[in-house]
Homo-oligomer: A and B are copies of this chain.
Amino acid sequence: MINYPNKKGPYISQTMDATNRGMDFERLIDESNTFYRLNQQAVIHKKPTPVQIVKVDYPKRQLAKIVEAYYKVPSTTDYNGIYRGYYIDFDVKESHSATSFPLKNIHAHQIDHLEAVNKHGGLAFILIYFKTHGTVHLLPYKVLAQFVKRAEKGRKSMTYEELVTQALPVKIGYRPSIDYLVAVDRLIDDC
């Protein structure tokens, strides 16, 4: 993979389609999931954003209109589904730093949720996109748990170097743009 020193905007790799460069990482994951579904490789969806609805108007002959609502803290990760018969569950994060990924970006309830999924035999992980390097890493829950443990007494972040060596590299392509199921195959082999 070749990374260009392009400071003008987000990009991922040489193979990224030009029209995708302006899109955010979650959007690319959503597109990859649509590709996987259409190709019957996996059934993985993003969960809707949780919202506390307080007030709804019902104008005549029109759609119900929500006029007061607030964002709620999600109690789980954003993505889940089924792949090769396995339950799969993950969240998606971006790092704007070139050198490290702060653990505070992963909420405590998300870590608890991934731990529970892992315990029940599911595939639990975080997909991390390092914007400045244009690389994507699959961090299995078991590796994440070690960094979380270290953070109790020491360093509160993972270095980029640690991610490169201890997480699984994710293939960047054209269709799908983020071909993370290849890394999931390796995760299954390691189980």
A63 to B50, CA, bound (A): 15
- A64→B53 contact, CB < 8 A: no
A147 interface residue per 8 A CB criterion:
no
**CB-CB under 8 A for A71 and B75, given A43-B116, A43-B117, A47-B48:** no
Establish whether residues B66 and A69, one from each chain, have CB atoms under 8 Å apart when the complex forms. Answer: yes
Contact residues, A29-49 vs B (CB, 8 A): 37, 40, 42-43, 45, 47-49
Q: Are B116 and A75 in contact (CB under 8 A)?
A: no
Q: Tell me if B81 and A87 are in contact (CB < 8 A).
A: yes
Q: Contact string, A12-37, partner B, CB cutoff 8 A, digits 1/0? A: 00000000000000000000000001
Judge whether B70 and A67 touch: CB under 8 Å.
no
Name which residue of chain B comes closest to A82, CB basis: B87
User: A106-118, CB under 8 A of B: which get 1 and which 0?
Assistant: 0000000100110
Is A82 within 8 A of B122, CB to CB? yes
CB of A86 within 8 A of chain B? yes
Q: Complex Cα distance A47/B67, Å?
A: 21
Shortest C-beta distance, A110 to chain B (Å), equals 13
Complex alpha-carbon distance, A50 and B45, angstroms: 12
From B48, B71, B83, A120 is in contact (CB under 8 Å) with B83
Residue pair B65, A68 in contact (C-beta under 8 Å)? yes
In angstroms, Cα B66 to Cα A116, docked, is 32
> Given the complex of chains A and B, what is the CA–CA distance between A71 and B59 in angstroms?
14
For residue A10, give the distance in angstroms from its CB to the closest CB of chain B.
23
A51 within 8 A of B: yes
- Least CB distance from A114 to B in Å reads 10
Residue of B nearest to A51 (CB): B51
Which 10 residue pairs across A and B have the least CB separation, nearest first?
A85-B121, A48-B50, A66-B69, A82-B87, A87-B87, A48-B48, A82-B122, A82-B120, A43-B116, A47-B47
